[in-house]
Amino acid sequence: MFAVYEFITTRNEKLLLMMNKYTYWQAQPTKNYRTYYCSKQSSGCKAKIKLNNYGTVIKADESHTHLPPKYIKTASGYMKV
């Protein structure tokens, strides 16, 4: 699966994974995988990204129930607008 993502640091120093404009937070990693849940999971969005330990996307569920959040890049990190 071809997928491009990046890690961003927000101004309150949270590390988020950003893919296709959507952001995800990292759940507790397991031995072989790291799962990232949509930042709007609390609003009922079930989108999630699964990476292996090499950072390769092995599963991407991007069925978001909302529009992507808007972030702008500042000198001190990304800021949600």
CB of 67 to Zn ion, least distance (A): 9
CB 64 within 8 A of CB 22: yes
Please, what is the minimum distance in Å from the beta carbon of residue 76 to Zn ion? 25
Least distance (Å) between residue 45 CB and Zn ion: 3
Closest to Zn ion by CB, 11 vs 66, is 66
Between 67 and 75, whose beta carbon lies closer to Zn ion? 67
How many whole angstroms separate alpha carbon 37 and alpha carbon 60? Answer: 10
**Contact positions toward Zn ion, by CB under 5 A?**
38, 40, 45, 47, 64
Strands (E), 1-81: 6-9, 15-19, 22-26, 33-38, 48-52, 57-61, 71-74, 77-80
